[in-house]
Amino acid sequence: MKLSVFLCSYSQRCEEGASTRELVEEAARQGFGAVEPFPAADLGTVAQAASIGSLARGLGLEVSCFSTCADLLSGDPADALAALRQRIDMAAAMGSPYFHHTIYPPLTLPRAGGPTLAGALRRAVPMLRELCGYAADRGVRCVYEDQGMLFNGRAAMERLTEALGDAPFGLVADVGNVFFTDERPEDWIGALSAHIVHVHCKDYLLKPGSGPCPGRGWYVTRRGDYLRDTVPGHGAVDYPAVFRVLSQIGYDGWYSLEYAAMEPASFGIDMAADNLRRLWEDTARSPVQFPLLDGISPRFV
C-alpha cells in the first residue's frame, strides 16, 4: 500500500506553531511514503515549495499531491485564476504530479436564490479548463474531488467530468466526503473509476437524523443525518469494499490519509495508518476471482 499523509492531518501541531518542514519530518518518522502539503505561512512561494520538495526527497518521501482551498463562484475570476496559477507553479516546483483545489467548498445546502449546479458549471468549467491546460504545460495534472454540497455525489461529479470533456484532469476519490450527499464511497468510485488518480482516506461516524443532534462537532448531511470525523477504520466507510473496487480498476496510486478526528493526532494518526494498512492487506489477500470471459455474463458456449 502506498500510504501518504495530507499535512492538514497535523492541524494540532500547526496550532502549536510547527512549521511545514517539521510536519514533513514527522511524516517521515511515522513511516509514510509521501506527503500532501497545503499552503501555509511558510509555504506560499515557488521558492519555498521547491525547498519543501527537496526536503521530502532527502527524507525518502514523495510529494503525492499539493492541495489548496478555493472558491470559484465568489469574487473576481481573474484574481482566482491568478492565485491558482501560482499554486500550480508551486506544485511543479515541489515535484508534485497533481494539484488539487476545491471549486465551491461550503458544506451547507444552497438556499433559495443561491448557486445551482447548472449555474456553477457555467461559471467554473471555463476556468477549470484553463487551469488544466496551464498545469499540463508544467507537467502537473489538476484533480478535483467530491467536496462541499454542490460539487459532490455521483450525479454532480458525472456532470462535471462530462463538462470538462477532454481537458487533462483527474478525480480524487475522497472516501468520506460523499457521505454528505448520503451516498456510499464504493458506489461513487465504481461510477467514476475512469477518472480516479488519487485517493483521500478519512472516516466518519454516522447517526440517523431521526434523533436529536449529538452536539458540537457533528455535521449534517443533505437529508439530515449526522456525521463526525473519526479515526479511519472506526466509522462508516466500508474500506474493504473501497479497496476491492479500487483494485478492480487497477489503481496503484497513493492513499493519502486525511485525519480530522477529535481523538488527538498524537496517537490517532498512527492508529489510522495501522488500520488502513491492515484493511488493505486483508483485502489484497482475497482478490476478486474474475470469470474466464471478463465482463460477459452469462457465458454462452
Query: What pLDDT does residue 296 have?
Result: 65
Residue 227 φ/ψ, nearest 5 degrees? -130, 140
Given pLDDT bands bounded at 50, 70 and 90, which one contains residue 6? very high
pTM of the model: 0.94
Does 48 have pLDDT greater than 70? yes
Contacts with 137 (C-beta within 8 Å, 6 or more apart), sequence order: none
> Do the Cβ atoms of 179 and 186 come closer than 8 Å?
no
Given pLDDT bands bounded at 50, 70 and 90, which one contains residue 181? very high
Query: What pLDDT does residue 20 have?
Result: 97
- Taking only the tens place, the pLDDT of each residue in 95-123 is 999 999 999 999 988 888 889 999 999 99
Does 291 have pLDDT greater than 70? no
Q: Which of 257, 279, 280, 283 is nearest to 270 (CA)?
A: 257
**Any idea which architecture 3-284 has in CATH?**
Alpha-Beta Barrel (3.20)
Q: Give the mean pLDDT of 187-212.
A: 97
Query: What pLDDT does residue 288 have?
Result: 78
Omega before residue 232 within 30° of 0, cis:
no
Residue 64 φ/ψ, nearest 5 degrees? -80, -30
Query: What pLDDT does residue 299 have?
Result: 61
Q: Which of 19, 42, 25 is nearest to 90 (CA)?
A: 42
> Do the Cβ atoms of 202 and 259 come closer than 8 Å?
yes
Query: What pLDDT does residue 286 have?
Result: 86
Query: What pLDDT does residue 289 have?
Result: 75
Tell me the C-alpha distance between 97 and 88, whole Å.
10
Question: How far is the CA of 219 from the CAs of 66, 180, 216, 224, in angstroms?
Answer: 26, 8, 9, 9
Instruction: Tell me the percentage of the chain whose pLDDT exceeds 70.
Output: 96
